[in-house]
Structure 1
Amino acid sequence: MKRTFTLLIALACLTLAGCGFSLRGSQALPAELQQVALSAVKPHALLKRELKARLKVYQIPHIEASELAGSANTVLIRLQPETLERRLLSVFSTGQVAEYELIYGVNYQVVFPNKEPLYASFEVLRDYQDDPDKVLAKSRELDLVVSEMRREAADRIIRQLARQASGQ
């Protein structure tokens, strides 16, 4: 019985590996791309800071774009200012806003060595319930939600970078 179970597990792993399945976040940059250079329109952009932290988690070497000295194996990511918009979803009977949809927009450009720049943009969406009676707590919650959205955006940039690099 134990041997059959082990055989089934091995067969399932081989099937998943054979179809190209990989866990999210396990993709690395191709070996010919040695590091990533980051640049942002705003020097202290929070998305840039989060992207640096996420690159460190994925063990992808990175440098500042100002340190880029014509390295042939460096990918440049140019971040544009991120946007945060709120869309009204519902109101209380008193007319006060009850719920928003937060829209975190990201625009960036990726420049691979000896290639044309690739432009990309996407949005991260979250629903946010507002309570006018708990302004301080809701303000802190909003900061946490936006921080989570920024982390998700950084992870998404890295996943798209790995996919674009393998497609080059």
Structure 2
Amino acid sequence: MIRQLLTVLITTLALASCGFHLRSDKALPSNTDYLLVQASSQSALLVRALEKRMTVYRIDGGSSADPAKQASTITIQLEPEQLNRRLLSVFATGQVAEYELIYGVRYTVVFPDGEALKTSFEVLREYQDDPDQVLAKSRELNLVLSEMRLEAADRIIRLLSSQYAGK
């Protein structure tokens, strides 16, 4: 009994000392109470994806400022999203067989002390096109883009956490 308890205690201490935390644990420092998301269009799909991921990470925030938490608010200013495609392969008929989708995200983070940090990254996916199944491929493309936006939102939160920790 004592041996099992000691094993659990040592494992817990080892995980805590290496910085391990559950994925849904709060991703921002404890001195930050609010995450303000600003974009040219508040109905942009990336804004919605980011707000959805903020609920998963239990981050308080949104697209409107909270005056009571102004001193501890981190602001993310999203620039319009960019989606590009790069040709990877073609069929013998000359029709496109495969694309690489490039989802570009650029944003500026303004920390509570007023320091601003501009960041950008890309999310890449390969996408196979089939001209015989246009409707199905259109739905698949929308699903892939939605997944890319969620990945971008996760990445923003993780980068935000590491950028703030590095200050």
TM, length-normalised to structure 1: 0.88
Partner of 1:79: 78
> In the TM superposition, what are the counterparts of 1:1-168 in structure 2 within 5 Å?
11-65=10-64, 67-69=65-67, 71-168=70-167
Count how many residue pairs are aligned between Structure 1 and Structure 2.
166
Relative to structure 2, which stretch is displaced further, 16-25 or 26-35?
16-25
Identity %: 56
Cα deviation for residue 13 of structure 1 reads 4.5
Cα separation, 1, equivalents of 2:4 and 2:150: 39
Cα separation, 1, equivalents of 2:40 and 2:104: 15
Question: Is contact 2:24-2:56 (8 Å) kept?
Answer: no
1:43-86, CA deviations, whole angstroms, 9 ceiling, x for partnerless residues?
A: 32110111011111111110324x35481110100000011100
Amino acid at match of 1:161: L
1:116-139, CA deviations, whole angstroms, 9 ceiling, x for partnerless residues?
A: 200110000000000000000000
Q: Name stretches of at least 5 consecutive residues in structure 1 with no aligned partner.
A: none
Q: Name stretches of at least 5 consecutive residues in structure 2 with no aligned partner.
A: none
Cα separation, 2, equivalents of 1:132 and 1:9: 56
Amino acid at match of 2:114: K
Cα separation, 2, equivalents of 1:64 and 1:71: 13
Question: Is contact 1:25-1:159 (8 Å) kept?
Answer: no
Question: Is contact 1:27-1:162 (8 Å) kept?
Answer: no
Cα separation, 1, equivalents of 2:148 and 2:138: 15
Amino acid at match of 2:60: P
Amino acid at match of 1:117: A
**Pairwise CA RMSD:** 2.2
> Are the structure 2 counterparts of residues 14 and 68 from structure 1 closer, same or farther at C-alpha, using a change threshold of 3 Å?
closer
